[in-house]
Amino acid sequence: MARLDLPDDDRLYQALLDRDPAYDDRVFVTVASTGIFCRLTCPARKPKRENCAFYARPAECIAAGFRPCKRCHPIANEGRQTK
Ligand SMILES: [Zn+2]
């Protein structure tokens, strides 16, 4: 499976707005305005599109300088992802 083959940003942003559980643990969103990253299913208010970037792994978000969200705990399941 090509796990880095993410859908395009338009679809991912819509999934973020919808809190689509299909992408949970597969895609994470960084928010430039707050410096945190989240699961797409995060209950927090949704950021503006221009502040969002999407990554397949929490480690990539951290490497980019973002901290995990305290509400959705995006690294809670790290290492326990289903293949
Ligand atoms: Zn969050």
13 φ, ψ to 5°? -65, -40
Contacts with 8 (C-beta within 8 Å, 6 or more apart), sequence order? none
Residue 35 lies in a domain: yes
Q: What is the pLDDT of residues 35-79, one digit of tens each?
A: 999 999 999 999 999 999 999 999 999 999 999 999 999 997 655
Range of the domain at 44: 9-68
Which residues are close to ligand 1, an ion, with C-beta < 5 A?
38, 42, 44, 69, 71-72
Query: Is-contact 59 81, C-beta < 8 A?
Result: no
**Number of compact structural domains in the chain:** 1
Residue 40 lies in a domain: yes
Q: How far is the CA of 68 from the centre of ligand 1 (A)?
A: 7
Q: What is the pLDDT of residues 73-83, one digit of tens each?
A: 999 765 554 44
Residues forming a β-bridge with 30: 37, 53
Q: How far is the CA of 57 from the centre of ligand 1 (A)?
A: 14
Q: How far is the CA of 53 from the centre of ligand 1 (A)?
A: 14
Supply the CATH number for residue 44's domain.
Answer: 3.40.10.10
Q: Is the pLDDT of residue 19 over 80?
A: yes
Residue 32 lies in a domain: yes
Residue 58 lies in a domain: yes
Catalytic residues: 38
Q: Structure pTM?
A: 0.85
